Amino acid sequence: RVTTLAADGFSFGSTSNRWASMASFSREHGLLFIPSVGPGYDDSKIRPWNRANTKSRDGGRYYDRMWERALASGASVVSVTSYNEVQ
């Protein structure tokens, strides 16, 4: 399971405070869990209806917090989502 969104709370999988339990579940069931971190999130210029999911970079603190939670989850792989994400 890959959490491709770097907007914390946008979906169940992108909610970083759930990553530890998701990683544990994945290990127990022979699955790979890959959390996605990003420096912030703002796609309002192309998706104005999605402003509620904008995440400020907060001087780098948002990115730091996402990395801390990804590493704390015990995941063996972490993806980085940025301005030029490819889906």
Asked if residues 73 and 19 have their Cβ atoms less than 8 Å apart, the reply is yes
Q: Cα–Cα distance between 4 and 1 in angstroms, integer?
A: 9
Q: What is the pLDDT of residues 74-84, one digit of tens each?
A: 999 998 887 65
Q: What is the pLDDT of residues 36-50, one digit of tens each?
A: 998 888 878 888 888
**Three-class secondary structure of residue 37 per DSSP:** strand
Exposed / middle / buried, residue 47 (Cβ in 10 Å: 0-12, 13-18, 19+): exposed
Q: What is the pLDDT of residues 12-71, one digit of tens each?
A: 888 999 999 999 999 999 999 999 998 888 878 888 888 888 888 899 999 999 999 999
